[in-house]
Structure 1
Amino acid sequence: MTIKQFEYKPLAHFSYAIVSDGEMAVIDPERNPEQYYAFAKANNAKIVAVIETHPHADFVSSHLEIYNHTNATIYNSEKLGADYPHHSFDSGDQIQLGAITLKALNTPGHSPDSITIIATDGKDTALFTGDTLFIGDVGRPDLREKAGNMRAKREELAEMMYESITTKFTDLPDDALVYPAHGAGSLCGKNLSDAASSTLGNERNDNWAFKKQSKEAFMETILDGQPFIPHYFGFDVDTNKTGAAHLKSSIDLIPFTENTTAEGLIIDMRDEVTFKKGHLKGSINIQAVSETSKFETWLGSIVKPEDQFTLVIDHKENKEALLHRIAKIGYEKQLKQVITLLDQEMKRTAKLDLEDFKNNPDNYTIVDIRNQSEINNGKFFENALEHPLNELRETANQIPTNKPIVVHCAGGYRSAAGSSIVQNVLKDALVYDLSEAVSQFQ
């Protein structure tokens, strides 16, 4: 069988195309469907099926757009409660794709409606495991308490995941290829491998979840130390259950103005050096200057789905790419406008005297904005106040202002956003960004 893995690195997302005898299925597609159309054309194949392993929390899928464009059938578990045209695909159901047989296997745990897709072609077997089985880990079971209309308690889902891992894969061969929906860097698990695929045999040997252990021990491990849940996760679950709007039509509606100003919630994607030299009052600096930066994750962690915002970009030529990135998590609907800036009436960010900070740290209020799981593993500064970035807009007003404030993360990327948030909330405070200099204190 022909399998193509597509990767979107900022969200550590894998999607797939399977081709056989001129027919193609797409599994867990990302928001922009053009790459799947191009792959189908290159392989002289017709897209006949789109399969969703579950309603994803961390990205918006293009399943409905592909359906509208190609008339391909959408398949997903009936437990999902989808509001778009679809066929149920649960244990016992199968699809014939040329010479390949695709079977569904209900594997709840990450979500109540998760499925694994078993593809067989002669003696070859491939498993598309969605967010159930990752390389080196399994999907977190705590998202449906806060994500989506269909709620489930984390303990119930953890128990479901134990049953899925210990019973659902038993009869499948060791040489079955394992293709997950995410890799390292995803917030859908906590210890994902850098590998993009594996075999079931390797996972049985190396993945902690397959080790012989009691249900209680399994549940304790999977529930402990999971990453934070970004604001946008529940919004994306509900969007995916309904089906997202056509991508190009959505982003084409967003106004763009050059050399202007704005008020309200402003997200500035420029690099931190440029931002600190001059930005609009109240701006939050979420950098998107590299193709692999975690712009989408932090946009959806800092900005809530109900927030309306303006996006400041560096150059007109980058507008389209930035709109596509925002649409990856479905936030184009609340984006009021995209602008470039006039070089006037700009706010500057104060520069920290690093030597004075090193010699007199007690003269500063130090704010640690790393994730709580990182903080739990050890602080860089003993007296630092804990304000994880995903909560900072709500908690920054609790930071004392009797001393200059120094904001730090682990490497410098997040502290650019964090220091700008603190400055926005504590308007009269003196706020510094430790930035990459944090490496000198680790």
Structure 2
Amino acid sequence: MLLERIYDEDLAQASYFIGCQARGEAIVVDPRRDVDVYLDLAAQHNMRIVATTETHIHADYLSGTRELAARSGAQMYVSDEGGADWRYGNGFASAVKLKHGHRIQLGNISLEAVHTPGHTPEHLSFLVTDGAQASAAGFMLTGDFVFVGDVGRPDLLDEAAGFRDTRFQGAKDLFASLRDRFLTLSDYVQVLPAHGSGSACGKALGAIPATTVGYERNFSWWSTYLENDDEQGFIDELLSGQPDAHAYFRRMKFENREGPAVLGEIAALEEYAAEDLQAELAEDRVIFVDTRHNTLVHAGTVERSLNVPGIEKAASFVAWVYDPQREDRPLVLLAADQSEAEALRDHFIRVGVDTVRGYMTSLDGLPLVKPRVLPPQELDGTERTVLLDVRNKTEYGSGHIAGALQLSGGRVLWNLDQLPDPEVGPIVSYCQSGVRNSVVASALRRAGYDVAELEGSFAGWLAAGNSPEREADPETSVTA
């Protein structure tokens, strides 16, 4: 058996390529949308991808199941659990619908679908048996059910998809899934989750890639609650302190249920000359994306551009500032060369931003503006309508500037009603170090707001000798 983990550091997301070397057949579980990595792996190992599946209807990235099936001819398999509200839509009409206990066979390898609701109602995990070596499962692909040191959060349907109070039933379902599906397995079963540290799908995910049933049984935070059959204690602990859910999760959830658009062959990117870009910007036909660090952006950038700094978090940040359901202008990227521009585009399409048209390798010849930056020592004397903290609510709760409104970066553009009208007056904004703040501030400026970024953000303000307020004020916390 060949088992490869493909990990996207940007979205902290893992997919799995599993192949039977005897038959030359492979399946991909939880694929991302830029699928060349799986096709290249198949070619490298002289295999055909004959199947593709996913553990659940994802919220944090756009699924590549349909894309991979279209490119490889693979049969799609998706969950048929969870009830009518969580059945896959027309985009998956040709998919095999999986119930608990269904097996997918690839030569000597079998994947058994295990219904593990909690994170979502339709969630499946997959028990993997390598029949050439063993008669019982040795691996479990747990998706967003069990992570290293944590379990999937059950509140995303409320926080990101507009449902109401589903978190409580989800937490109960998760307790039952752990008790009846997970802890009944042998300790040696290796656990391969869909996310690692940095994902918003849990609150305490470990940074190592895998764990075992036995390790989680003995050392996870939730094991004592299961051992004592303390369902309510488990629910209370699980639902407390979860990180903010990004607003774009809602779009991901519904697109993934109905079936993401299949991209097929992607057009080559156009390299723009300064005069051509300037003409299109003047008529507001394109949006420029400045991909530099905020310190360079502050020295001068294209007016009304969006700041998506670097490739490391490109998917996450572009989803904060560009909503394809509201915006149809194509994007032009600042990139070192065509290769870097294409890599950025790949990250963008992972969250359904499919409108990258071209790139520029320099700002030479373009008129630039300097975003307003406010030194910490001038904060108290500066007129403002809102002091905006764009960090997560957990960061805010551990210390913030007195009077600040908390509205995390991934939710700002979906909660503009929480801010005063743009014509009323300026906003002063900050994050921890300035990176996230620059991203959010660029989007607010494009939306017409007058924004001053606090120089050095919260860290700079602390370094200037100021003392934070440490109790979170529930009146200043916003939920979408």
**What secondary structure is seen at the aligned counterpart in 1 of 2:273?**
strand
Question: Which residue, 311, 331, 334 being the options, matches 2:331?
Answer: 311
Q: For the structure 1 residues 396 and 239, does the alpha-carbon distance in structure 2 shift closer, same or farther, using more than 3 Å as the test?
A: closer
1:182 shift after superposition: 0.5
| Number of equivalent positions | 430
User: What is the Cα deviation at residue 385 of structure 1?
Assistant: 3.8
Matches within 5 A, 1:66-145: 66-79=68-81, 80-82=86-88, 83=90, 84=92, 85-121=94-130, 122=134, 125-145=138-158
- 1:252 alignment counterpart: 267
- The answer to whether the 8 Å contact 2:286/2:332 transfers is no
Is contact 1:128–1:180 with CA below 8 Å preserved after alignment? yes
Q: Is the 8 A contact 1:396 1:425 kept in 2?
A: no
- Counterpart-to-counterpart distance in 1, 2:326 and 2:422: 27
Quick check: 2:269–2:359 contact (8 Å CA) kept in 1?
no
Given that 2:55 and 2:124 are in contact with CA atoms closer than 8 Å, whether structure 1 keeps it comes out as yes
Per-residue deviation, 1:66: 2.2
1:247·1:327 contact (CA, 8 Å) conserved in 2? no
Task: Provide TM-score, normalisation by structure 2.
Answer: 0.81
Distance 1:336 1:215, change over 3 A: same
Tell me the residue number matched to 2:367: 345
Q: Which residue of structure 2 aligns with residue 47 of structure 1? A: 49
Distance 1:419 1:150 in 2: 29
Q: Note closer, same or farther for the CA distance 1:284–1:325 as it changes in structure 2 (3 Å cut).
A: same
Contact 2:67 2:264 (C-alpha < 8 Å) held by counterparts: no
Q: Select the residue among 330, 337, 348 that pairs with 1:326.
A: 348
For the residue of structure 1 that corresponds to 2:3, the secondary structure is strand
Q: Percent identity?
A: 29
CA distance in 2, matches of 1:60, 1:306: 14
Measured in 1, the distance between the counterparts of 2:31 and 2:147 equals 17
Moved more, 1-10 or 297-306: 297-306
Q: Aligned partners of 2:28 and 2:146: how far apart in 1?
A: 19
1:367 aligns with 2:388: yes
Distance 1:279 1:243 in 2: 37
For residues 112-134 of structure 1, the C-alpha deviation after alignment (integer angstroms, 9 at most, x for no partner) is 11001001220561000011111
Structure 1: unaligned runs, 5 residues or longer: none
User: Alpha-carbon deviation of 1:325?
Assistant: 1.3
Tell me the equivalent position of 2:216. 203
Q: 2: distance between equivalents of 1:400 and 1:59?
A: 31
Aligned residues: CA RMSD:
2.9
Query: Contact 2:290–2:301 (CA<8 Å) still a contact in 1?
Result: no
Quote the residue 1:2 is aligned against.
2
Would you say the 8 A contact 1:129–1:179 is kept in 2? yes
Q: How far, CA to CA, are the matches of 2:143 and 2:111 in structure 1?
A: 14
Name the SS of the counterpart of 1:24 in structure 2. Answer: strand
Report what 2:184 is aligned to. 171
Corresponding residue of 1:235: 251
The separation in 1 between residues aligned to 2:162 and 2:462, in whole angstroms, is 44
Tell me the residue number matched to 2:317: 298
Query: Could you state the TM-score of these two structures normalised by the residue count of structure 1?
Result: 0.87
CA distance in 2, matches of 1:267, 1:209: 46
Q: Is the 8 A contact 2:149 2:206 kept in 1?
A: yes
Aligned-pair CA distance for 1:437: 7.7
Task: Tell me, yes or no, if the aligned pair for 1:92 and 1:104 is still in contact at 8 Å.
Answer: yes
Judge conservation of contact 2:290–2:308 (CA < 8 Å) in 1.
yes
Go from structure 1 to structure 2 and tell me whether the alpha carbon gap of 1:241 and 1:395 turns closer, same or farther (over 3 Å shift).
closer
Q: What secondary structure is seen at the aligned counterpart in 2 of 1:331? A: coil
| Whole-angstrom CA distance in 2 between matches of 1:264 and 1:370 | 32
Distance 1:62 1:400, change over 3 A: closer
1:136 maps to a residue whose letter is G
For residues 256-276 of structure 1, the C-alpha deviation after alignment (integer angstroms, 9 at most, x for no partner) is: 643213237845232123322
The 3-state SS of whatever aligns with 2:369 is: coil
Alpha-carbon deviations, 1:194-223, whole Å to 9, x = none?
Answer: 111111111111222332252222122222
Deviates more, 1:295-304 or 1:317-326: 295-304
User: Aligned with 2:122: secondary structure?
Assistant: coil
Contact 2:426 2:451 in 1 (8 A): yes
Give 1:302 shift.
Answer: 3.2
User: Structure 1 residues 270 and 302 mapped into 2: Cα distance closer, same or farther (>3 Å)?
Assistant: closer
Give the drift of 1:296. 1.5
SS of match in other structure, 2:440: helix
Give the SS at the match of 1:277.
coil
Gaps of 5+ in 2: 464-480
